């Protein structure tokens, strides 16, 4: 049994801005084991990105974070920026959606990787350069010696993302968070980057958190999947179980809304009406109930608890989808 | 079928300025592309970044005019028209863009935004126009009383896109060019907007040129699909036929790269074929621009650009060595070796248990 490398318990994040309180994350808990890939799936406002930035200590001062997130036993919530800097990169690292914004356009690639290496390790410049070249090879950038001296704008989007991954892995983190890391990439490049991440996971034993709105990505690359809505986990299961039978109607709605190759031309999609909820004024009861095809009176009155209803399969719903039943 | 749009040999390029404003290079965005769009159909245009699909769409609406080639819309040649004559000829063609907020004037109210084309083309009196605006907002599912007086920033992305659609159909166009109309929207909202577009298509008799990088989406909305790569048209044909039997190696790779919704199937990363980095549009390969990543490429591909050839009913492919027809679903372990490279198995079977 692989050991648990990250434990998140009852994480809450709220933002207070201009007299308004936004409840971005409302009680998120999960476990991540070494070498496993966890996908956190949700749309905008689900809290998936905010929760990960909370772990990384990357939220603005308007954010209040409560709860617990322990990496290898070390508590991350409540650390000062100085303390967090020791762990960012060394224990957990993040790859963002837009490599153009995350890479310094005025610094050569090699220097940026060396910067990441030297943030956590005492090495001389020769050793750092060797390690940087190793990392460029690790992420399969062809001709690393030449690329080492180039600027980000001389690389394609896919290559920049590989450089981001190299930087993230510079200090051998236990957990790598890929926050919509392939969303801005073409589908063929996405396939290559995902292949790289899978390979790195096997070779280095890094645990990966994949944050995305793309359920297809979760199906293909994740061991376990959490679905979030309005700042909460609404369903969790190993991928094979989840895609075999989704219980929470929101998960089912997400799945049904994905365009499919198998559908006939001009077919109409199953539609979920309405909008995601206003995080400053969440409805009572289940946050999804105003849009849910299966809503019952109790869904409006009280919030369903997130419980392990079947082995390994958790959900929060008063009227979950039954086997084989359409939505 | 009447041809609504006939595009012939369209070329468009962008000059890239290097240091000091000197010409640094030329992006060959669209290179000799031809296709037809029939009245009443949806033609999907699919490709990745740098394929030229958006540039091609803008050349069709003459914003900008292509550097070379011809665009005949409803029988009238658009390239070469200017001013009032272009406006008149172009009136039945409208566009919906990717960024829901970017195409709406943030200082105007929603009803003014939708009314603008009606004023621009001198339609009716103010009372008629406002009634039409209310009808249009209703048609796209936005309550005119609630939304008419608001500004775009008060609406969500999906709602803004509905406004953009209302504006686009205000003049009852024949053709609507949709450039990634739902890419910026959340998944559940995408479905709402797509269904709206579909409903309007049947209710108002619209034709669409639908541009997207999402292959499954394009297939779902289109009658015919055209695949572009680095400014060249690779393959065009009926949606079903193209997806069931893709003939161009690039189409095969694109399809293999789509993440599967079935965790029991090997992931796209194991099925995709293209090797290496996409070439730069500043220095595209000679001949066929896909040849540097193509497992089937041979010498001819570098010296001679392949032209579109008809390989099936309405199904044209620009390739010297197209994939053989293989309609039977290949066994999971079956591979064919071509030039030493593996051709991956790819099937259209639905994941088990789901419609």
Among A103-112, A256-265, B42-51, name the one with the lowest average pLDDT: A256-265
User: Residue A152: how many CB atoms within 10 A of its CB?
Assistant: 20
Tell the burial category of A241 from Cβ atoms under 10 Å away from its Cβ (0-12, 13-18, 19+): middle
Distance, in angstroms, between B259 CA and closest chain A CA? 5
Q: Is B4 helix (H, G, I), strand (E, B) or coil?
A: strand
Mark the ranges of chain B whose per-residue pLDDT is less than 50. Answer: 327-355
- pLDDT value of residue A86: 87
Q: How far apart are CA B175 and CA B183, in angstroms?
A: 20
Report whether pLDDT(A248) > 80.
yes
Report whether pLDDT(A327) > 70.
no
Contacts of B156 in chain A (CB under 8 A): 275
DSSP type of residue A174: S
Q: How far apart are CA A65 and CA A13, in angstroms?
A: 5
- pLDDT value of residue A247: 95
Q: Which of B190, B253, B280 sits opposite A257 (nearest CB)?
A: B190
**Cβ pair A50, A44 in contact under 8 A:** no
First to last CA, chain B: 33
Domain boundaries, chain A: 1-91+178-260+268-327, 99-172
- pLDDT value of residue A200: 87
User: Residue B109: how many CB atoms within 10 A of its CB?
Assistant: 16
Alpha-carbon torsion (B109, B202, B316, B331), positive or negative: positive
Q: Both tokens of residue B330?
A: 């290949």
Q: Which residues on neighbouring strands pair with residue A94, listed in sequence order?
A: A177
Q: How many residues are given for chain A?
A: 327
Contacts of A258 in chain B (CB under 8 A): 187, 216, 261
Q: Is A271 on the interface with B (CB under 8 A)?
A: yes
CB contact under 8 A, A255 and B261: yes
Tell the burial category of A181 from Cβ atoms under 10 Å away from its Cβ (0-12, 13-18, 19+): buried
Q: Which of A43, A190, A239 sits opposite B187 (nearest CB)?
A: A43
Q: List all residues 6 or more positions away from A206 whose beta carbon is below 8 Å from its beta carbon.
A: A35, A169, A172, A173, A174, A175, A176, A200
Q: Both tokens of residue B331?
A: 């066994």
ipTM of the complex: 0.82
Q: Is A5 helix (H, G, I), strand (E, B) or coil?
A: strand
User: Residue B350: how many CB atoms within 10 A of its CB?
Assistant: 14
Beta strand pairing call for A4-17 and A20-33 = antiparallel
Report pLDDT digits (tens) over A140-190: 888 899 999 999 988 888 889 999 999 999 888 999 999 998 887 888 888
Report whether pLDDT(A109) > 90.
yes
- pLDDT value of residue B345: 38
- Would you report the helix, strand and coil content of chain A in percent, each value rounded to 5? 35, 25, 40
DSSP characters over B61-81 = TTSSPPSEEEEEETTEE-TT-
What would be the CATH architecture of the domain defined by A1-91+178-260+268-327? Answer: 3-Layer(aba) Sandwich (3.40)
Q: How far apart are CA B237 and CA B136, in angstroms?
A: 34
Q: Is A315 on the interface with B (CB under 8 A)?
A: no
CB contact under 8 A, B198 and A266: yes
Arithmetic mean of pLDDT over chain B: 85
- pLDDT value of residue B272: 63
Alpha carbon A34 to chain centroid, angstroms: 16
Name the A residues in 15-44 with CB < 8 Å from any B CB: 43-44
- pLDDT value of residue B20: 64
Tell the burial category of A32 from Cβ atoms under 10 Å away from its Cβ (0-12, 13-18, 19+): buried
Q: Both tokens of residue B199?
A: 């409903």
Contacts of A42 in chain B (CB under 8 A): none
Q: List all residues 6 or more positions away from B120 whose beta carbon is below 8 Å from its beta carbon.
A: none
DSSP type of residue B254: H
**Cβ pair A43, A276 in contact under 8 A:** yes
pTM: 0.85
Count of H-run helices and E-run strands, chain B: 12, 14
């Amino acid at each position: 049994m692989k050991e648990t490398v990250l434990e998140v318990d009852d994480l809450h994040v709220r933002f207070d801005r201009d007299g308004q309180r936004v409840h971005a994350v409302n009680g998120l808990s999960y476990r991540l084991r070494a070498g496993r890939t966890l996908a956190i799936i949700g749309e905008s406002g689900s809290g998936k990105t905010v929760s990960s930035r909370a772990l990384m200590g990357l939220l603005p001062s308007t954010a209040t974070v409560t709860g617990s997130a322990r990496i290898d036993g070390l508590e991350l919530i409540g650390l000062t920026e100085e303390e967090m800097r020791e762990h960012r990169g060394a224990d957990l690292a993040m790859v963002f959606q837009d490599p153009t914004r995350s890479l310094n356009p005025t610094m050569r690639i090699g220097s940026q990787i060396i910067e990441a290496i030297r943030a956590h390790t005492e090495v001389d410049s020769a050793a750092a350069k060797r390690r940087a070249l190793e990392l460029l090879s690790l992420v399969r950038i062809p001709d690393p010696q030449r690329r080492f001296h180039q600027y980000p704008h001389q690389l394609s989007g896919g290559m920049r993302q590989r450089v981001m991954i190299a930087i993230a892995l510079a200090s051998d983190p236990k957990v790598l968070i890929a926050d919509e890391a392939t969303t801005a990439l073409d589908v063929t490049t996405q396939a290559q980057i995902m292949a790289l991440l899978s390979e790195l996971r096997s070779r280095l034993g890094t645990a990966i958190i994949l944050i995305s709105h793309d359920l297809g990505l979760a199906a293909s690359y994740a061991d376990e999947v959490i679905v979030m809505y309005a700042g909460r986990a609404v369903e969790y299961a190993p991928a094979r179980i989840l895609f075999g039978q989704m219980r929470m109607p929101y998960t089912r709605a997400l799945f049904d809304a994905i365009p499919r190759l198998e559908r006939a031309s001009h077919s109409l999609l199953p539609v979920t009406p309405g909008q995601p909820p206003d995080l400053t004024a969440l409805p009572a009861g289940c946050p999804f109930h105003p849009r849910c095809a299966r809503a019952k009176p109790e869904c409006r009155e009280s919030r369903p608890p997130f419980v392990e209803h079947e082995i390994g399969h958790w959900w929060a719903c008063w009227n979950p989808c039954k086997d084989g039943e359409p939505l | 079928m009447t041809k609504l749009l006939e595009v012939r040999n369209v070329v468009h390029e962008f000059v890239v300025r290097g240091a000091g404003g000197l010409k640094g290079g030329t992006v060959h965005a669209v290179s000799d592309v031809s296709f037809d769009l029939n009245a009443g159909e949806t033609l999907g245009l699919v490709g990745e970044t740098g394929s030229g699909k958006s540039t091609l769409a803008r050349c069709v609406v003459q914003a900008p005019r292509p550097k070379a080639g011809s665009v005949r819309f409803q029988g009238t040649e658009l390239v070469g028209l200017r001013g009032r004559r272009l406006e008149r000829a172009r009136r039945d063609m409208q566009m919906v863009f990717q960024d829901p907020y970017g195409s709406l004037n943030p200082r105007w109210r929603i009803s003014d935004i939708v009314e603008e084309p009606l004023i621009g083309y001198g339609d009716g009196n103010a009372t008629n126009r406002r009634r039409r605006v209310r009808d249009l907002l209703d048609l796209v599912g936005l309550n005119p009383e609630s939304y008419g007086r608001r500004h775009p920033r008060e609406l969500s992305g999906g709602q803004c896109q509905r406004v953009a659609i209302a504006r686009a159909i205000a003049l009852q166009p024949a053709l609507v060019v949709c450039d990634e109309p739902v890419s910026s929207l959340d998944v559940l909202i995408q479905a709402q907007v797509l269904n709206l577009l579909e409903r309007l298509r049947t209710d108002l008799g619209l034709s669409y040129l639908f541009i997207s990088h999402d292959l499954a989406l394009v297939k779902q909305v289109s009658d015919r699909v055209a695949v572009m790569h680095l400014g060249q048209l690779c393959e065009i044909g009926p949606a079903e036929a193209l997806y069931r039997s893709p003939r161009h190696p690039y189409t095969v790779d694109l399809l293999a790269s789509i993440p599967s919704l079935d965790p029991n199937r090997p992931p796209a990363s194991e099925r995709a074929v293209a090797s290496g980095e996409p070439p730069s549009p500043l220095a595209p390969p000679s001949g066929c621009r896909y040849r540097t990543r193509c497992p089937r490429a041979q010498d001819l591909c570098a010296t001679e650009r392949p032209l579109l050839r008809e390989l099936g009913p309405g199904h044209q492919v620009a390739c010297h060595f197209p994939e053989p027809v293989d309609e039977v679903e290949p066994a999971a372990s079956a591979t064919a070796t071509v030039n030493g490279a593996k051709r991956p198995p790819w099937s259209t079977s639905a994941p088990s248990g789901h419609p």
